[in-house]
Amino acid sequence: MKLTASYVKVGNDGGIGAYSIQQLYSPAPGFPFGGQSSFVADRTITDPLLTPEFTTTFEAGVALGFLKNRITLDASFQTFNTIDQITSIGTSAASGLSNARINVGETKGIAYEIDLGIEVIRTQDIKWNVNVGYYASDNEVVKVSDQASQVSLGGFTGFAEVFAIEGQPFPVIQTNAYERDPQGRVVIDAATGNPIEASGLKIAGRTTPKYTVNFNTSFTYKSFTLQATMDYRTGHVFYSDTKSNLTWSGHAVETAQGGRGAFIFPNSSVEVSPGVYEANTSVPSGGTSAGSYINFFNDYRGIGENHVLDATAFKVRELSLRYDMDKDLLRNTFITGVAISATARNPFIVLPAENRGYNDPESGFSTGNAQGITTQAGNYPPTRTFGLGVNLTF
């Protein structure tokens, strides 16, 4: 048995360059003289009073080994607190700026991790090891700034954006959404049959996994070794721009409702008197013509909540098969070892039924804090690779 504990405080400059806090100017395009004597100010600025961000972490853990380490169990608990986080935020167009890098307050959280390892079989010819890990985390934005309780980190403005919001996990996605009755049903305009859009943006969920389960295994029989690495992540959501684009063009499954004619909007209600709602059974949506049906789904596309999907995913990250040649066969050669291997990376992925292959939840349009927004264009698609290899040792 081994017990561990640590207390760490780490500073970070956020990747700010030597001249980032200076007001720089660059040649203006086109005027005058092809931009050789005219300059414009940079529209991305850094707060000149920026301070380093600091993360303080306390972690305690225990490592146990049983039956000569045939069974191992590692568990840890962690608390963390980050202050003065450095991030880029969107700015008002009236300011003349596109974004600014500032300190945005404080976050705190806890995390748990458990890893179980079992050597299932240990003989001269056969070895089989299995490792299962469970990780859970929960964090909260304690403070954004003295001026605001939330800040946008990026996305589609007024439609689907990633935010840091006081009292919420970091980060969360907000979208425009439908008006709903106290039972959570979408409220339909009795006159037009169209769902009513609510004012402002609504929180759709956190964009980072709440739980992760890892599974690794290695099986060896004489000279052959089969290895697999996979994980399951859940508890978060993402916005799919691909689904949005398929909707307006009539390729999404929702556009086939009612045989492409008038239909009763699922889980909807109608306000029959002020504050009184009844289940909608008679007010159709989609209109009575092809044109009105197309217009309905053009409007449907413009509601961000329609394109927020469960980001749960089970992924086989890697499979490999290796053969190590018997060294007795190489005894009279200058080669001391030969290994032949076949490897597949990301060969399998299982997604929820609502994500019909629209996007990989791990893809995104940013490597920064604006996680949870996937776009149809401008991103490399996820890749699946296969390889064969020969390793010679001299």
The pLDDT tens digits of the residues spanning 351-373 come to 999 998 888 998 877 666 778 89
Burial of 105 (0-12, 13-18, 19+ CB in 10 A): buried
Q: Which residues contact 170 (CB under 8 A, 6 or more apart)?
A: 107, 139, 140, 141, 164, 208
| 298-346 confidence digits (pLDDT tens) | 999 999 999 999 999 999 999 999 999 988 888 888 888 899 999 999 9
pLDDT, averaged across the chain: 89
Q: What confidence score (pLDDT) does residue 30 get?
A: 66
Three-class secondary structure of residue 178 per DSSP:
strand
- Lowest average pLDDT, out of 255-259, 348-352, 384-388, goes to 255-259
pLDDT above 60 for 98: yes
Q: What confidence score (pLDDT) does residue 27 get?
A: 73
Instruction: Tell me what the mean pLDDT of segment 258-271 comes to.
Output: 90
Give the relative orientation of helices 241-248 and 290-301 as an angle to the nearest 10 degrees: 170
Highest average pLDDT, of 106-115, 137-146, 246-255, 379-388, comes from 106-115
| Beta bridge pairs of residue 167 | none
What is the CB-side half-sphere exposure of residue 198 using CA atoms within 13 A? 18
- Lowest average pLDDT, out of 106-115, 175-184, 283-292, goes to 283-292
Question: How many angstroms separate the Cα of 299 from the Cα of each of 257, 271, 375?
Answer: 15, 21, 19
Strand 44-46 with 197-206, pairing? unpaired
Rounded Cα distance between 238 and 312, Å, is: 10
The model carries a pTM of 0.83
Residue 215: how many other CB atoms lie within 10 Å: 16
Rounded Cα distance between 252 and 245, Å, is: 9
Q: What confidence score (pLDDT) does residue 307 get?
A: 95
